[in-house]
Amino acid sequence: MKITILGTRGEVDHSAPYHSRHSGVLVDDALLLDLGEREYLDYSPKAVLITHLHPDHAYFVRGKGETHPGETPVYAPEKCEDSRIEILDTKKNIHGYTVQPIPTHHSVKVNSQAYLISRNSRAILYTGDLVWINKEYHSHFEGLDLVITEGSYLRRGGLVRRDQKTGKIYGHTGIPDLVRLFGDYCGHIVFMHFGSWFYRRAAQARKKIRALGKKNGVDAYAGYDGMKIDLQEHE
């Protein structure tokens, strides 16, 4: 399984070389995980899997003349105004890949979910943005080759709030929390979707992520636009 990180920028005003495009991950030139930029469709993916309908993960919800990505099948946790989106809430075989959606906590206004993608004894987890994943789903993390998750906040705890009406938590957890969560199941973690903190001193930010991973016994990396990963190299 070959992975290409297409975009690593969160919904922030900051930008930098290799960190300028919004979320997108391409698996074997076949499955596109999130669609933060319309240009990602130029790779001609066979299907698109969207974690949640925020504009830096689904460009076409911005409005301003943006349209749904043509005939490419698009799966998401819920529909938006365009009825061509198919809700994916159970395990499904998509073009030879087993795709397991895993509900996540992130937003009050939109539903969100991670995707566990497996094929030929290889498995990756792509989370999108999140605060937490319920413990009942943690057993799915056993045997993962790679976790690709978010880096909105470097500080422990991230930025998590609670909605007064519903009591639901929302926001983004911190990189240290994600390293501890996924480090128990997987030795390789790539972070993307960086917040403003990353752009102040990107070189130092990359080193801090590496050091944090090493402290917890995992290989942790800051992803970058165009980063390529071959899971065969992780054997």
* For the chain, domain boundaries: 2-225
pLDDT in tens, 60-110: 898 765 666 678 899 999 988 766 799 999 999 999 999 999 999 999 999
Q: What is the pTM of this model?
A: 0.96
- Residue 47 CA to its chain's centroid (Å): 16
2-225: CATH topology: Metallo-beta-lactamase; Chain A (3.60.15)
pLDDT in tens, 43-57: 999 999 999 999 999
57 Cβ contact list (under 8 Å, min separation 6): 22, 23, 34, 35, 36, 50, 51, 128, 129
Check pLDDT > 90 for residue 155.
yes
97 Cβ contact list (under 8 Å, min separation 6): 27, 30, 31, 117, 118, 119
pLDDT recorded at residue 80: 83
pLDDT recorded at residue 43: 95
